[in-house]
Structure 1
């Protein structure tokens, strides 16, 4: 059995760790609250704007956008989102694992050199370099402080590369924030723009009644970059909220585990102390009969 001094030292050590994890949980929770407000406010606007674009492109047969062009994939770009720091459970590991699977899926047909990885976050950038992937860009600051301007700069670059046929497809890999306990790893096609099937009986078929000014082409030239910019920015906000949620849960679990360990160690300490007192009494009683 461990000595009283050793048990007492372990209790103090675990208690110090518990204070750290508890403080980190409160900080992550505060950041999560802000990030959750941001994504909650952004999602309805982004979804509505995207619905307007897809309805417009689906219903106007004469209008064609270069961002809708589906062609054989010879070069692909993957925008992967992670965090800059750890202690958030399996959040970063899941992104890294899925990125490996995506690269393996393309590698056999187009080669690893034709897979461009745009890493948003230090952890995925480090993992991509370690695996020998072609890291075309790193955006570390964006992972901690989501910026629409920085996001739109990346969007413009991807759009230009797609139109110039430098890349044939762009995919996003990020965590979708569902709630504090659930973050869904999401893989989706960003370019070309995919149009869902439109049914004639759909209630949203009122899109056919739009009056365009000055013209459909001018509207499309403005709407597509705006929708694509908001889509990537929303993915960034989603990833940011998911990171703080994952860290909040990880620190809560760590704090709960520390509490359990302290309870077990306290019981052990009390037993050891009682055993020591009993032994001393037995020695005293035994000595009195000599």
Structure 2
């Protein structure tokens, strides 16, 4: 490899390192905001869940929402992102999902995919998808965006077409570690009691409260999973981009060494030619 080729390659890799460093900084700046959002979302979901528990305890009617069943047909809500360059973020999620459904018939489950990466994965694997178009999962997530899907999920569950709704997403443990989490949101589990026993005064019957609160619960549960997955995505991308930047800098250092050796060899050859020429 000539001096010019080495120099061009060094320039190209330095530009790549600058891009990966910028992506690392952007991901780092988003982690704190996403972490705060996740904390607030978890507190909200916990409060709505306690309302559902209290409403269930104060009604005599048996509701499909809070009644465990044999879960013959499942709906998986697969939370992915729109972008890559996040290390093993998607691979570990897809691997866990395929492991979960490998022994299941495609007639026994459906998949609702959030995120462009997951949509193309489901298309490639020919999974029984609910959504026919991409549901984008951008960084500026909002509960309003998921309201129609929450209503749809509730309708298919209450009609008996689906017996269990499970959200699959990457869960944030720390900056370096994200694990796959599977959470059943329907039927609502009421085994876990609130730490503090709270009393609620209803303007309407508990049955109506239960029916209306479950809409908020499904919507907020999806939002909480998306917020958790988004935090995991930023952390995974930050680590991946740091590794990419370090690798690029290491390659540049090696090219520097190659460049100086090649330049030294070129100078040595020129000196030999000069000496040989003067001795003739």
What pairs with 1:154-169 in structure 2 (closer than 5 Å)? 154-169=149-164
Shift of 1:222: 3.0
Task: Tell me which residue corresponds to 1:97.
Answer: 95
Q: 2:143 aligned to 137, 142, 148, which one?
A: 148
Whole-Å Cα distance in 1 between the matches of residues 195 and 141 of structure 2? 35
Whole-Å Cα distance in 2 between the matches of residues 75 and 101 of structure 1? 17
What pairs with 1:1-290 in structure 2 (closer than 5 Å)? 2-54=1-53, 56=54, 60=58, 62=60, 64-105=62-103, 107=104, 111-137=105-131, 138-198=133-193, 203-204=195-196, 206-207=197-198, 209-290=199-280
Q: Which moved more, 1:173-182 or 1:158-167?
A: 173-182
SS for the counterpart of 2:102 is helix
SS for the counterpart of 1:279 is helix
SS for the counterpart of 2:179 is strand
Whole-Å Cα distance in 2 between the matches of residues 15 and 203 of structure 1? 55
What per-residue deviation string (whole Å, max 9, x for no partner) do you get for residues 23-59 of structure 1?
A: 22233333444433322332222223324434x2675
Equivalent pair of 1:84/1:140 in contact (CA under 8 Å): no
Whole-Å Cα distance in 1 between the matches of residues 120 and 42 of structure 2? 30
Unmatched runs of 5 consecutive residues or more in structure 2: none
Instruction: Report how many residues are paired.
Output: 279
Equivalent pair of 2:166/2:186 in contact (CA under 8 Å): yes
Runs of 4+ in 1 over 6 A off after TM superposition: none
Equivalent pair of 1:183/1:242 in contact (CA under 8 Å): yes
SS for the counterpart of 1:187 is strand
| TM-score with structure 2 setting the length | 0.88
Unmatched runs of 5 consecutive residues or more in structure 1: none
Equivalent pair of 2:78/2:112 in contact (CA under 8 Å): yes
Q: Which moved more, 1:127-136 or 1:58-67?
A: 58-67
Q: Which moved more, 1:260-269 or 1:224-233?
A: 224-233
Q: Which moved more, 1:42-51 or 1:95-104?
A: 42-51
Shift of 1:236: 1.3
SS for the counterpart of 1:135 is coil
More helix by share: 1
Equivalent pair of 2:92/2:180 in contact (CA under 8 Å): yes
SS for the counterpart of 1:141 is coil
Q: Residues 47, 139 of structure 1: CA spacing in aligned structure 2 closer, same or farther, 3 A cutoff? A: farther
